[in-house]
Structures are given as structure tokens and as C-alpha cells.
Structure 1
Amino acid sequence: MEGLIFLAVIVILIASVVVSSVKLIPQAEAAVIERLGRYQRTASGQLTLIIPFIDRVRAKVDLRERVVTFPPQSMITEDNLTLSIDTVVYFQVTDPKSAVYEINNYIIAVEQLATTTLRNVVGGLTLEQTLTSRDMINKQLRGVLDSETGRWGLRVARVELRSIDPPPSIQDSMEKQMRADREKRATILTAEGQREAAITTAQGAKQAAILDAEGNKQAAILSAEADRQSRMLRAQGERAARYLVAEGQAAAIARVNAAVKASKPTPEMLAYQYVQNLPEMAKGDAATMWMIPSQFGDSLENFAKAVAKKDDDGVFRYEPADVDTDADLPSAPDEWFDTSTDPEIARSVAAAEAAAKGTTSVMDEEPRKAKPKPGVFDMVPESEGGAAPDDTPALSGPQGAQPGQPTGIDPAAGLDTDLHQGGYPIDETGRDRP
């Protein structure tokens, strides 16, 4: 019975030794194995057999990248201000043997090294530089830590400054400064906005004034052009009217002269007409007294000698010349009596109408046909030899008036064919018709 118990104990001891000699090292971990107190090998991610009572696992090291947060540290800047800086270090064990045998506690070593390095870096910077140069501080810390921890089998991946806390008084001053800066920027932006608004308003007023001036200029030009054209047309009409009146007067004088020549007046008849017209001459407002010369007969005799010849019976008689031709009167230019609309005037009127309607390109359009203006004959008063009213038919063909010829005179017959055209009709005897 005792033999069985001893055998069972031996089996249990052997089983425990075998189990203790088999080590399972998971992935991302490394086991430093020693034999008789000296480094033997490093096992990672595998099933490892060790010799009982001879080999042992000195330490297991995590090979993953680790994040270590250190408590805030007080540091003094170059301008003697105290800051509280909290750092975060990202590192990874690359050599488990060095991490176990080269340093006692690599986490504490990294913390202390990061603190001392950060103090050196921050001590050479002012508060403003420290707050605005985080990237530069991170790079310097990473460079120093990576070079110093390499012999410990560590690789520093990144160093971050999680927080930088100045003293409360400094924070209050910084807040006031930031508030002042923001108010300054707000004031500047407000002033810039007002300036831009004023400039825009001024530019708009300038453009409006320019457009208004351009409009007034165009209106003044059109008004002046219209006044000039109207004055020219009115002057042309008055010129044609005066010419026609002069034509009528010349024709009337010529007919009176022809009638006088045809009647062959004697000195007795002239004397009788002279005496008969004396009362008419005395009707003038300025005439208060008329004196008849005492030698009235001698005056008549001298007048008869000047205009007539004395016959055998002693009577003076007027004998007209054998050849008596009418004087050639200068004729008026045909354009004086042109009633068609000037194309330039038509274009100006069309442009003004289109400008009033807002049309942009009106000068390229063909001018509209203007209504024919009344002829120059219609503008002459009827009493001065002008045309008859609208119900009087106009002359055409050979009866029409020629340039230089007054209306109502038949050039072939030499007689007035219309009593309303300003002529002076006479009969075949040379006397005025009633």
C-alpha cells in the first residue's frame, strides 16, 4: 500500500515538472529566459520548453505601443512665468533584453527624461512662444527621448503636450488681451465695412450723377437741335412767303403798268386823277393842311412834257414804246419750295422717340416716313397771294405755278385765272374788272 502511495507522489511530481517546463508566450509579448541566472534567449508568440530548476522566465515584456500619461509638471519660462504642462508619451519596446537588463524601470525613466527635457525646452521660450510653438516643442522632445531611450530598447513614437496652464492672473490678463484684440478686430472690420459701404454709395451717386448729366446733355443737344431745325424751317417758310408776296406785288405792278400803257392816258386824264386823289392824300393822320400850288397848270404842263409828246392840236398824249418787254425777274431756287422732310430731321425725330421709349440702337433704324408738311404756298396768307383754303383745288399740269411765277397766273394767257390766288384781274381794255 505504501508503495502505491509513493508511486502516485512520484507521478504527480513528474507531471508538475513537465507542466512547469512548458511555457506559452502569446503574440505581442516577449519572455526573457535565463539559465542558471544568465540570459539565455527571448521567446515571443510561441510554445517554449524550459529545463526545470535550471531555466526560468526573468520577465515578460509587452511589445505593443504604449501610451503613458504623466502628471502635470510646473515649469518656468524665459520670462519667469510658471506654467503647468501635462505631457503624453507614445513609445514601444523594440528590444526586450535591453528593456530588462539596461534599465530598472523604463516607464519611470521615460517620465523623468521627458520632464527634464521639457523643462529645458520651455526654459528657453517665452509664454507667447510656448503657447504658439507646440509642434516645435513636440519635435524637440521626441528627438531627445528617442535618442536617449534607444539604448534601453525603446522607440519613442510621439510626444504631445496635452495642456499648458498658466497661472490664474496670467489667464485673466490673456483673456483681457484676447478680448481687446477681438474688440479691435471687430472695430476694424466695422470701420472697413462702413468704408466699403461709403465707397459703394459714393460710386453709385457718382454713376447716377454721370448718367443724369449725360441725360441732361442729350436732352439739351436734342432740344438745341430741334430749336435749330425749327428756326431753319420757319426761316425757309418765311423766305418763301416773302418771295411769293414780292412775286405777287411785282406781277400786280406789271399788270398796272400794262393797263396804263394800254389806256394811253392824256394829260387831262392825269390831271383829273391827280385832283381826284387829293382828298385821299389829305386823309393822313399827320397831314393837317394841304397847299395847292398857284402854278398848278404849269406843273401839269411840265409833267405832260416829261411823259408825253405834243400833237399838232397842242395836246400832250402818251405814246408807249413800240417794243416793251417785261424785265426778267430772278427766279427762286427750287429747293425753297421743297415740301419733303429732311432725312436728317426724320432720323433725329426717330432717335428722340426711341430714346424716350428706352430703345438702344435707334440710329441704325430707317427713319419713319414723316407726314408731308404743308407747302410753302399754303403758308402764304390768301390776302398776300397765297394758296386758297383746303376746299380749293390745287392747280396741276400747265395751270400749276412754276418757280418764280405766282400762283393763279396763267403763263400762256398772261391773265389771272383765280381771283383767290393773289392776282389782280383786268379785262381786255386794260381796266380792272369789278
Structure 2
Amino acid sequence: MAALIVLAVIVVLVVILVAKSVALVPQAEAAVIERLGRYVKTVSGQLTFLIPFVDRIRAKVDLRERVVSFAPQPVITQDNLTLSIDTVVYFQVTNPQAAVYEISNYIAAVEQLTITTLRNVVGGMTLEETLTSRDSINGQLRGVLDDATGRWGLRVARVELKSIDPPPSIQESMEKQMKADREKRATILTAEGHRESSIKTAEGAKQSQILSAEGAKQAAILAAEGERQSRILRAQGERAAKYLQAQGEAKSIEKVFAAIKAGKPTPEMLAYQYLQTLPQMAQGDANKVWLVPSDFGDALKGFAKTLGAPGEDGVFRYEPSAEAEDLPRPEDDSEEVAGWFETKTDPAVERAVRAAEAVARTPVESLVPEHLLGGADEPGELPPAKE
């Protein structure tokens, strides 16, 4: 029984010795080893053998980059406003021996150093500068912390200000100021919009007036051209009508005299025709009284004797002479006036009509010069009239 107890004690001692002599240090950690209370070495990521009851692991240090967030701290600015600022520090242990022997608690040391440095930096700035200079504050904090923590075996990678909270009264004033600024920008934008709308409306009215004036101008030109062509055609028609009327009267007179000559009228027949013509001559409003001369019959006899010759019955009848037969007669239509009676359209008129139809089918915008459509350089400047 005693032997079993002794054997158990020996086994326990062996297990304790083995546990004290072997240490497993994982990767990304460093173990600081002391021998009889004095630093011996630093091991990381390996199996380490120790002398039992002589060597011991003083501390294990995490070699990864660590993120530490500190509670908000009151900081007074240059314009005597108290701000609540909380920071975040990114650091890494680069020398485990210094982190263990140079300072007792490097995390607390980093926190206090961050707070004091933050107060020094922000104390020289106003509220507006503090709110708009985060990058500058972060850079100054990182520089100071990295220099101070280097002897502790630390490397400060980044320092960030997580939030900057002004006092509630200042926040309310800032909100009012921001609201006023937004309302100001909204008013400016609204005014700019009205201005642009007025400019566009005026520009549209200007272009509309220009197009209307150009259209009225083209309409007036076409109306004048149409009136001109109409007057020319009416004048040509009246000329042809008068010519035809004169030619008809000439033909009628020729036929009448030819009939008279052929009929060999006597003084009695001329007197009869004269008496039939008198009522027609008296139909005028200005012809009130007609007197027939008493020697009218003698005058007809003298006229018949002068122009006629006595027949077998002793009555004087008209006999045309040889010279009367050779007198010129009214000519028919000559080549000079042949074109007056053509009914087809004059080529010039036809071209004018086609041009008017083409203008009517053309959009009005194409009739205005390009520089007017894009806006005239000077107000009220109009393009030169097109021929």
C-alpha cells in the first residue's frame, strides 16, 4: 500500500515537472521568459522547454494590431466651448520585452496619452475648426502617440475621432444655422429657377415674334406679288377685250357699209333709216328736244346725187367707185397680238404660283436665319429681308 502511494506521488511529480518544463506559445503571441526572476528570452509560435522551478513565463503579449475605443472625454476649445470627443486607437506591440518591462499597463498609458494630447490639440482650435479639421487632428494625435509609445514597444497605426458632440445649446444653434443656410440656398435656387424661366420665356417670345414677323413679311411679299400678277393679268385681259371689241366694231361697220353699198340705197331709204334712229337718239336723259330741219329731204337728195347715179327709173342710187373697192379693210388678228388671247398660264405667273406653294409647304422655322434661332447678339436686331 505504501508502495502504491509512493508511486502515485512520483507520477504526480513527473507530470508537474513535465508541465513546468514544456510551454506551447501559439502564433501571433509572444512569451517573455525569466530565469530566477531575470529576463532570458522572448519566444513566439513554437514549443519551448523550460527548466522546472527555475524558468517561468512572465507574460504573454498579443502581437496582432489591436483596436481600443476610449470613452468620450470633455475637451474645451479655444472659444471656451466644451465638446465631448471619443477616440479610437489602432496600435500593435512590436517589442514584447519593452511592453512588459518599460510600462506596467500600456493600454491605460495609451488612453491617458491620447486624452491629454487631444486636449492640447483641440484647445488651440475653435469649434468650427474642430468640426472641419478631423484629418488634421487625427494626424497630430498619431504623430505624438507614435513618438511617445515607441519606447514602450508599441507602434500606433491610426487614430480616429469617432464623434464630436457639442453642448445641446450649441447643437440647437447649429441646427438653426444649418436650417437657415438650407432655406437661403433654397431661396437662391428658387430665384435662379424663376430667373432662368423668365429668360427662357422671354427668349421664346422673342423667337415667336421673329417667326411671326418673318411669316407676315413672307405673306406680304406673296400678297404683293399676287396682286401684281393679278393686275398684270387683268390689264392684259382688258387690253385683249378692248382690242376684240374694237375689231368687232370695225367688222360690224365694214359689214354695214358693205350691205349698204350692196343694197344701193335711195334717198327715201336713207330718210327712213334716219327716222328710225331718231327715237333711239332721244332716249338719253340729256336729250330733251330734237328739231328736224325742213330742208332735210333736199339734203338727202343732194347726198344721193353726189354719191349715186340715176337709174333707168330716174332715181339716184349709190354706186361704189373703183377707188372705194381698193380701200384697205380692217385686218384680222396679226402675229403681234396673237399671244393676247392665249388662255394658258403665263410662265412667269406659273413660276410665282409654284414658289408660293413651296413657301406654304416649308416650315416657318426654316425661313428664319440660324443666328436668330440661336438668339440674336443684340436685342431687337432683325435679319435682312430676303428678296
Residue 341 (structure 1) aligns with: 345
Alignment of 1:102-121 (within 5 A): 102-121=102-121
Alignment of 1:19-418 (within 5 A): 19-262=19-262, 272=271, 276=275, 279-280=278-279, 285-290=285-290, 320-322=321-323, 324-327=326-329, 329=331, 331=334, 332-343=336-347, 345-346=349-350
Q: Note closer, same or farther for the CA distance 1:255–1:279 as it changes in structure 2 (3 Å cut).
A: closer
Shift of residue 217 of structure 1?
Answer: 4.3
Residue 372 (structure 2) aligns with: none
Residue 378 (structure 1) aligns with: none
- 2: CA distance, partners of 1:170 / 1:348: 82
Which secondary structure does the structure 1 equivalent of 2:345 belong to?
A: coil
- 2: CA distance, partners of 1:288 / 1:64: 144
Does the Cα contact within 8 Å between 1:261 and 1:320 map onto a contact in 2?
no
- 1: CA distance, partners of 2:136 / 2:58: 40
Amino acid at match of 1:158: R
* Count of residues in Structure 1 that have an aligned counterpart in Structure 2: 356
Amino acid at match of 1:140: Q
Question: What is the CA deviation profile of residues 20-47 of structure 1, one whole-angstrom value per residue up to 9, with x for unaligned ones?
Answer: 1211212221111122332211011211
* TM-score normalised per structure 1: 0.69
RMSD (CA atoms): 3.8
Amino acid at match of 2:130: T
Shift of residue 105 of structure 1?
Answer: 1.8
Amino acid at match of 1:51: I
Which secondary structure does the structure 1 equivalent of 2:24 belong to?
A: strand
Which secondary structure does the structure 2 equivalent of 1:164 belong to?
A: strand
Which secondary structure does the structure 1 equivalent of 2:17 belong to?
A: helix
Q: Note closer, same or farther for the CA distance 1:198–1:81 as it changes in structure 2 (3 Å cut).
A: same
Q: Which residues of structure 1 form unaligned runs of 5+? A: 362-434
Residue 371 (structure 2) aligns with: none
Q: Note closer, same or farther for the CA distance 1:269–1:20 as it changes in structure 2 (3 Å cut).
A: same
Shift of residue 253 of structure 1?
Answer: 2.0
Does the Cα contact within 8 Å between 2:271 and 2:300 map onto a contact in 1?
no
Residue 16 (structure 1) aligns with: 16
Shift of residue 141 of structure 1?
Answer: 1.7
Amino acid at match of 1:145: L
Shift of residue 12 of structure 1?
Answer: 3.8
Does the Cα contact within 8 Å between 1:98 and 1:153 map onto a contact in 2?
yes
Shift of residue 174 of structure 1?
Answer: 0.1
- 2: CA distance, partners of 1:102 / 1:39: 13
Does the Cα contact within 8 Å between 2:250 and 2:330 map onto a contact in 1?
no
Question: What is the CA deviation profile of residues 120-169 of structure 1, one whole-angstrom value per residue up to 9, with x for unaligned ones?
Answer: 22223221121122222222222222232222211112111111011111
Identity percentage of aligned residues: 66
Shift of residue 18 of structure 1?
Answer: 3.2
Q: Note closer, same or farther for the CA distance 1:251–1:4 as it changes in structure 2 (3 Å cut).
A: closer
Q: Note closer, same or farther for the CA distance 1:31–1:300 as it changes in structure 2 (3 Å cut).
A: same
Which secondary structure does the structure 2 equivalent of 1:34 belong to?
A: strand
Question: What is the CA deviation profile of residues 23-82 of structure 1, one whole-angstrom value per residue up to 9, with x for unaligned ones?
Answer: 121222111112233221101121111112322222111112111111212222232222
Q: Note closer, same or farther for the CA distance 1:97–1:201 as it changes in structure 2 (3 Å cut).
A: same
Amino acid at match of 1:172: E
* TM-score normalised per structure 2: 0.76
Does the Cα contact within 8 Å between 1:90 and 1:159 map onto a contact in 2?
yes
Q: Which residues of structure 2 form unaligned runs of 5+? A: 365-387
Which secondary structure does the structure 2 equivalent of 1:27 belong to?
A: coil
Q: Note closer, same or farther for the CA distance 1:124–1:333 as it changes in structure 2 (3 Å cut).
A: farther
